[in-house]
A and B are shown apart, each in its own frame.
Chain A
Amino acid sequence: MKKIFSNSIVYLFLIFFGIIMILPFIWMISTSLMSQAEFNKNESIFIPKEEYYVWDENGKEHRIILVQQKEENSIIHVLDENLQISKDYPEYMSVPSSQVRLIKKVPSFHWDNYITAFNKVPFARYFANTIFVSFLTLIGVLITSFLAAYAFARMEFKGRDIIFYLFLSMMMVPEPIYIISSYMLLDKFNWLDTYQALIVPWCVNIFTIFLFRQHFKSLPQELFDAAAIDGCSIFGMLWRIVLPLSKSVIATASVFSLIGSWNSFMWPLVMTDRPELRVLQVGLSYFSQEASTQTTLLMAASTFSILPILIIFFFAQKQIIASYAKAGLKD
């Protein structure tokens, strides 16, 4: 009995905080589906609803703006299809109040906010840029890490440990420390405002090297000995033995790399200026300045820009969370 009681308190607590954690997302989505007028009127907080008055002109309904309502007659503006004040009727019209009705629509979803936001600035281009940069970076990271980690884990050579610790020590230096000097350096290369500025510097990832090295060290030596006896070259060994055994660690590294590139902001913000080169996060930040009063469009844009990551996350959440947990403890 006591156990059931304490258990239900635990669940209540977890549900309460679960709601708090997820509330910003729920609100983001529900606001993204409202009309701007509705958000400004501040009437509905969560479920989009819409309210308007109509005038029933002998069976023909017009949307109207109610100016004044009295018991017998009401003063109205009649609206046309574009919700502008209609020119076919007098601007101020008096009609019997019995012909005026309030329409409440619950829910009314403005999916068109998504289309409007997506076309307002070239989001398609931003998505394409982000996907292009993320995937090339991923390929670069996997190749450089795979080769380096193999050497560190499976070969003996002069300076191996010193070089490895040099690598690790550079991992501790955060990006804001060297972003200014990197800018000046890329300027010297004439790389500012190019795709390579977004890709090449991130084609090496010390943490991935570290992750791969740990994995390669755990592979049994007999495997390599047998391959060597069969006359397999080192490269052949990598390709035919190590690679097939490293699927899970490659998947882990890919998730980190893709999420990292997708969300990276300060670097592309600083290194690019041309609108055609904007990645999603940078494009979104410019959009938030341009459309700062259009709350519902901002929410729609935020929603579709986190959607791809959230979809990947939901499909592979077990593996992704396990990867983060494992990687965290390895340090």
Chain B
Amino acid sequence: MKTKHKYEPYLYILPALVLLLLFRFIPILLSFVISFFDFGITSIGNFIGFQNYNKLFVDPEFWQSMMNTVWLVIIAVPLSIIIPLIFAVLLNQIKWLKGFFRTIYFMPYVTSLVAVSIVWKIIYAEEGGLANAFLQWLGFQPLKWLAEPKGIFTLLFNSMGVSIPSWLGGPSLALFSIIIMTVWKSLGYNTIIYLSGLQNISKVYYEAAEIDGANKWKQFFKITVPLISPTTFYVLLMTTITSFQTFAQVYMMTDKGGPLGTTKLIVYYIYEKGFDDLQMGYASAAALILFVVILGLTLMQRRLESKVNY
């Protein structure tokens, strides 16, 4: 028996509605609109059609930052799925100290990106940094980490005495350093999500597999992986979306996306165009393309999910 109300409900949703319209809905629409205008330091908004987009598509810096972001996504996302799944499965097996490990793994997630970026920047310092101290302790040559524009594959093959063409070089070591830190930061959250997903898998399946003589590996690949797939899709979607939005790491740890622009990610590019160069229209066009990419990936993953799910 729910009562029918006339105007009261609207009063209840009014505060939220007004704020959302003013500070989400209108800005989202507005960013679409101003991407067709020429807002800059000298100009105050002439309609220029698709010119921002045309300019964007031939801007090598835009493509570089897109490419950098794609590298981040294709390296960070699989790592942020596989490692937390392993953590969660192992944590699920133990009783003693379970909460302790969970807390430690989760700690980086609640701390601020700005503070941990400062810490990781010093970890990666060429002199006095923890990363190089560790490498030297293992008997390796120190690396330049955040100052290294060379691709990780180039460095890897060079160390074996093989030179490879630069287009096969992969993301720069500087970008890779940021990726490692980003994965470290988000591992804990995904582990927690997997842990609660695992608790929803009935023990009956494992007991049956045990009777059939399936070993732990088989159980993991034939029971855990398929039955946890809804969680995997959630983790995949969330990690992809947040990876595309990476900003603070680049702002804090690099010199404006350097060296040689190899760590400039798309959101940093938007920030730079909008707030350093004050080309608001142009930056909005880039933001809109990012939106389309994220929206497209979200829809794609949703469709894939409805096909694959058990």
Contact = CB atoms under 8 A, between A and B. Distances in A.
Interface of A: 7, 10-11, 13-14, 17-18, 21-25, 27-28, 31, 39-40, 42, 45, 143-145, 147-148, 150-152, 154-157, 160, 163, 166-167, 170, 172-185, 200-201, 203-204, 206, 209, 221, 225, 228, 234, 259, 262-263, 265-266, 269-270, 280-281, 284-285, 288, 295, 298-299, 301-302, 305-306, 309-310, 313-314, 317-318, 320-321, 324-326, 328-329, 331
Nearest to B100: A18
Interface string B69-104: 000000000000000000100110110010101111
- SS of B interface (majority): helix
B8 A173 contact: no
B135 to A, nearest CB: 13
Interface string B212-232: 000000000000000000010
B290 A177 contact: yes
B34 A151 contact: no
B283 A331 contact: no
Contacts of B87: 14, 17
A45 to B, nearest CB: 5
Interface in B1-56: 1-6, 8-10, 12-13, 15-17, 19-20, 22-28, 30-31, 34, 39
B113 A310 contact: no
Contact of A176 (B94, B119, B267): B267
Contacts, number: 272
A180 B23 contact: no
Given A13-B90, A143-B15, A176-B287, A321 B102 contact: yes
B19 A10 contact: no
- SS of A interface (majority): helix
A172 to B, nearest CB: 7
B306 interface: no
A22 B189 contact: no
A317 B110 CA distance: 10
Contact of B252 (A157, A184, A288, A295): A288
Which of B20, B125, B295 has the most C-beta atoms of chain A within 10 angstroms of its own C-beta? Answer: B20
B234 A148 contact: no
Nearest to A20: B184
Which of B34, B130, B234, B244 has the most C-beta atoms of chain A within 10 angstroms of its own C-beta? Answer: B130
Contact of A147 (B3, B13, B251): B13
Interface of B: 1-6, 8-10, 12-13, 15-17, 19-20, 22-28, 30-31, 34, 39, 87, 90-91, 93-94, 97, 99, 101-108, 110-116, 118-120, 122-123, 125, 127-128, 130, 133, 184, 187-189, 192-193, 195-197, 231, 234, 238, 241, 244-245, 247-248, 251-252, 267, 270-271, 274-275, 280, 283-284, 287-288, 290-291, 294-295, 298
CB-CB nearest 6 A-B residue pairs:
A151-B12, A201-B23, A181-B30, A178-B27, A148-B16, A181-B31
